[in-house]
């Protein structure tokens, strides 16, 4: 039996680890699956555990009012040390870029337990954007023994950092597995925050904003959203307001009371998935929502200066607008008024997976044992498919890779836009 301890601290981690937990349980003849929750975000995590029927075998209960990233790190390190001593797992699975994931990988390293990093290889190459997630995932990547990259771009990042080929697996993102699973469940919006939205009468746009790097500019973003609704009477904003007071206060100060703006409480995941299928497009700074929107064919305007998920930009279903007022107004206006622009974005293929990522992650764990190697899911060096890729292939020593990737992405984007025109 292979003992696997999955560590979950936040709502996104639960959403993305749930399919893996189900797959491990399905293979109970091979894996002994255990779950440890840190409750980095208790109010948002507990409903996810209920929705996905996840049973926590250990609860570190680290959540405290006003806790900092260093407080979370210390609490997870201390709590995980005891859990690891008791469980002695063969593998510790962590997900993404949270402080829980980073600290749990460090605790596992201290105990010499193997670490599997789900959603590995995402990079912005700016340690303060997003903060602290960029450093969290890079630290976890250094400590990981198996890297489950959601895309080939993420896998390529890992290979450039020196991770051996046989330890990198391209799996797709498990959020697509969860999205498809929850999307198949029956749901009635009656008596929920979604009940009063003007479906079929207005162009509904889903808005979320909460990232650390946007907190200082949140009032400006909200002012732009207000101007957007004034310019477009056909528009209705559905805005689930984040629980962080620094993110919430500017939203209420600027947008409360507007006729065509619905300020909603934080949505349960099933509510979010149902709403996502009924909006026209999405304005967000959320990484997970970029992936989920792409999976259901909804264009995304990303309220960030850079993203660790450039695949959506390259595919054409997402655009970076940052907190720039003019960029947001122009791009949103095009989606509302230009059917060709909307169709070009909405018809792009989803680059984030096919709903079978969890199966590939578990298969990757199996392949780490001698004699069980499955070559199908191991990362392979891609041959350049675009002329600019081929050019860059010979220029990486002269151009810093992070800037070169941005140049490649921009040229490809411009090429598509000129082709459409």
203-346: which CATH architecture? 3-Layer(aba) Sandwich (3.40)
pTM for the full predicted model:
0.85
Segment 132-191, tens digit of pLDDT: 999 999 999 999 999 999 999 999 999 999 999 999 999 999 999 999 999 999 999 999
Segment 232-285, tens digit of pLDDT: 999 999 999 998 899 999 999 999 999 999 999 999 999 999 999 999 999 999
Query: What is the pLDDT averaged over residues 108-128?
Result: 95
For the chain, where do the domains classified as CATH 3.40.50.2000 start and end? Answer: 2-173+353-377, 203-346
Quickly state the pLDDT bin for 16 (edges 50, 70, 90).
very high
Segment 38-49, tens digit of pLDDT: 987 777 788 899
For every residue of the chain, which 3-state class applies, written as one string?
Answer: CEEEEEEECCHHHHHHHHHHHHHHHHCCCCEEEEEEECCCCHHHHHHHHHHCCCCCCEECCCCCCCCCHHHHHHHHHHHHHHHHHHHCCCEEEEECCCHHHHHHHHHHHHCCCEEEEECCCCCCCCCCCCCCHHHHHHHHHHHCCEEEECCHHHHHHHHHCCCCHHHEEECCCHHHHHHHHHHCCCCCCCCCCCCCCCCCCCEEEEEECCCHHHCCCHHHHHHHHHHHHHHCCCEEEEEECCCCHHHHHHHHHHHCCCCCEEEECCCCHHHHHHHHCCCCEEEECCHHHHHHHHHCCCCEEECCCCCCCHHHHHHCCEEECCCCHHHHHHHHHHHHHCHHHHHHHHCCCCCCCCCCHHHHHHHHHHHCCCCCCCHHHECCCCCCCCHHHHHHHCCCCCCCHHHHHHHHHHHHHHHHHHHHC
Superfamily per CATH, domain 2-173+353-377: Glycogen Phosphorylase B; (3.40.50.2000)
């Amino acid at each position: 039996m292979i003992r696997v301890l999955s560590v979950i601290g936040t709502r996104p981690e639960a959403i993305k680890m749930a399919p893996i937990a189900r797959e491990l349980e399905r293979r109970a003849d091979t894996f002994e699956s255990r779950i440890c929750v840190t409750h980095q975000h208790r109010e948002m995590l507990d409903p996810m555990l209920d929705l996905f029927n996840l049973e926590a075998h250990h609860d570190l209960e680290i959540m405290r009012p006003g806790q900092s990233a260093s407080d979370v790190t210390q609490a997870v390190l201390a709590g995980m040390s005891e859990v690891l001593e008791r469980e002695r797992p063969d593998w510790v699975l962590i997900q993404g870029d949270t402080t829980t994931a980073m600290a749990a990988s460090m605790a596992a390293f201290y105990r010499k337990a193997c670490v599997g990093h789900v959603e590995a290889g995402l990079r912005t190459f700016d340690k303060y954007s997003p903060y602290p997630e960029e450093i969290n995932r890079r630290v976890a990547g250094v400590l990981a023994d198996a890297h489950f990259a959601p895309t080939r771009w993420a896998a390529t990042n890992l290979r450039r950092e020196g991770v051996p080929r046989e330890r990198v697996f391209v799996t797709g993102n498990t959020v697509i597995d969860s999205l498809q699973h929850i999307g198949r469940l029956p749901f009635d919006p009656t008596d929920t925050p979604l009940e009063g939205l003007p479906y079929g009468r207005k162009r509904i746009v889903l808005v979320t904003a909460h990232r650390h790097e946007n907190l200082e500019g949140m009032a400006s973003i909200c002012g732009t959203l207000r101007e957007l609704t004034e310019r477009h009477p056909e528009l209705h904003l559905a805005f689930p307001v984040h629980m962080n007071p620094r993110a919430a206060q500017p939203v209420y100060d600027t947008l409360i009371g507007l006729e065509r703006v619905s300020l909603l409480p934080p949505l349960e995941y099933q509510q979010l998935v149902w709403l996502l299928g009924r909006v026209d497009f999405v304005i967000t700074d959320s990484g997970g929502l970029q992936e989920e929107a792409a999976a259901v064919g909804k264009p995304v305007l990303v309220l960030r200066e850079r993203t660790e998920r450039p695949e959506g930009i390259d595919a054409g279903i997402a655009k970076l607008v940052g907190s720039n007022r003019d960029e947001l107004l122009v791009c949103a206006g095009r989606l509302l008024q230009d059917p060709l622009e909307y169709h070009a974005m909405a018809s792009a293929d989803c680059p984030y997976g096919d709903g079978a990522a969890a199966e590939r992650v578990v298969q990757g764990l199996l392949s780490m044992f001698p004699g069980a190697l499955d070559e199908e899911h191991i990362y392979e060096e891609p041959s350049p498919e675009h002329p600019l890729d081929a050019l860059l292939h010979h220029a990486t020593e002269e151009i810093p890779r992070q800037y070169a990737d941005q140049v490649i992405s921009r040229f490809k984007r411009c090429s598509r836009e000129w082709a459409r025109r």
